[in-house]
Amino acid sequence: MVLGLYNYWIVVLLMMIGFYIVIAHGNLIKKLVGLTIFQTSVFIFYISMGNVENGSAPILAEGLSRYSNPLPHVLILTAIVVGIATTALGLALVVRIKESYGSIEEDEIQIQDQLTEDKT
Question: Looking at the DSSP assignment, which residues form a beta bridge with residue 27?
Answer: 105
Minimum CB distance to other proteins, residue 63 (Å): 13
Q: Does 57 bind other proteins (CB under 8 A)?
A: yes
Query: Which CA distances in Å does 49 have to 52, 96, 100, 108?
Result: 8, 39, 45, 42
Cβ proximity to other proteins, 32 vs 63, nearer residue: 32
Kindly report the length of the chain.
120
61 binds other proteins (CB under 8 A): yes
Binds other proteins by CB under 8 A, chosen from 63, 99, 115, 119:
99
Say whether residue 70 binds other proteins (CB under 8 A): yes
The residue from 18, 111, 115, 119 that contacts other proteins (CB under 8 A) is 18
CA dihedral 30, 27, 25, 111 (to 10 degrees): -160
